[in-house]
């Protein structure tokens, strides 16, 4: 982290994935004058065909204390992770950065052979072409408190909650983007391989 601070063209980034539930209510504390605030347990209406939760990737840029968010159709897997990393590198290159010091946990899609191979190939190409390289710093197992993006998720979930009704997928995404003051970018797609008969 100190090394990143000594290079103005390096970015320290804390990355993680999170699920945004349309039904689960976060723990909240509130002052109440007359009647206490009550969060109801949400139930999905039978005619509601939208997913119960939305997944997204995020990275906290330590240099400007902003979170970049990218939503996923499906769930976080290796090929979606590499697509997210490529997008982050493009954002950082536009800001004049050359190295991403990436801090994240040991999720299976972070340490998979596909992701490790992709990062190696990406770094070789980035070195040749002068693009953003990725230096990975893995957190110890079972230590989410060391990832600075975790509290951002907690506060965001409390900020976007709706106590009286279930939010639609679009409403939820709009509230998340507004909270993080970021522009919505098209969802990353999870490609599901079809079985050959």
Q: At what angle do helices 113-129 and 78-94 cross, to 10 degrees?
A: 20
Q: Could you report the per-residue pLDDT of 65-101, keeping only the tens digit for each?
A: 999 999 999 888 999 999 999 999 999 999 999 999 9
Instruction: Return the CATH number of the domain spanning residue range 8-19+51-189.
Output: 3.30.420.10
Mean pLDDT of 8-15: 93
Q: How confident is the model at residue 35 (pLDDT cuts 50, 70, 90)?
A: low
Given this model, what pLDDT does residue 39 score? 60
pTM of this structure: 0.85
Q: Could you report the per-residue pLDDT of 95-107, keeping only the tens digit for each?
A: 999 999 999 999 9
Q: Could you report the per-residue pLDDT of 142-158, keeping only the tens digit for each?
A: 888 899 999 999 999 98
Residue whose tokens read 């990725």: 134
Provide, rounded to the nearest whole percent, the portion of the chain with pLDDT above 70: 87
Q: How confident is the model at residue 165 (pLDDT cuts 50, 70, 90)?
A: confident
If you compute the radius of gyration of the chain from its CA atoms, what whole number of angstroms results? 19
Which runs of consecutive H residues, i.e. helices, occur in 67-149?
Answer: 78-94, 113-129
What is the rounded distance in angstroms from the CA atom of residue 57 to the CA atom of residue 60? 10
Six-digit token string for 189: 């797609």
CB atoms within 10 A of CB 54: 20
Given this model, what pLDDT does residue 101 score? 96
Q: Are 134 and 123 in contact (CB under 8 A)?
A: yes
What is the rounded distance in angstroms from the CA atom of residue 22 to the CA atom of residue 59? 22
Q: Are 177 and 184 in contact (CB under 8 A)?
A: yes
What is the rounded distance in angstroms from the CA atom of residue 144 to the CA atom of residue 153? 12
């Amino acid at each position: 982290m100190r090394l990143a601070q000594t290079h103005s063209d390096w970015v320290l980034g804390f990355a993680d994935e999170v699920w945004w539930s349309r039904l689960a209510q976060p723990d909240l504390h509130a002052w109440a004058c007359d009647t206490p605030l009550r969060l109801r347990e949400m139930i999905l209406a039978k005619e509601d065909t939208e997913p119960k939760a939305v997944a997204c990737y995020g990275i906290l840029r330590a240099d400007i204390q902003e979170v970049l968010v990218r939503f996923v159709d499906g769930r976080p897997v290796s090929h979606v992770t590499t697509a997210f990393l490529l997008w982050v590198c493009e954002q950082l290159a536009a800001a004049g950065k050359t190295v991403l010091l990436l801090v994240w946990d040991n999720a299976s899609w972070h340490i998979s052979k596909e992701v490790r191979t992709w990062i190696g190939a990406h770094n070789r190409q980035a070195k040749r072409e002068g693009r953003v390289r990725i230096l990975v710093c893995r957190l110890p197992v079972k230590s989410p408190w060391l990832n600075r993006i975790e509290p951002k998720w907690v506060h965001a979930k409390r900020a976007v909650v709706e106590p009286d009704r279930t939010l639609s997928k679009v409403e939820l995404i709009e509230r998340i983007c507004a909270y993080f003051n970021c522009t919505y970018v098209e969802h990353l797609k999870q490609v599901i391989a079809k079985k050959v008969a």
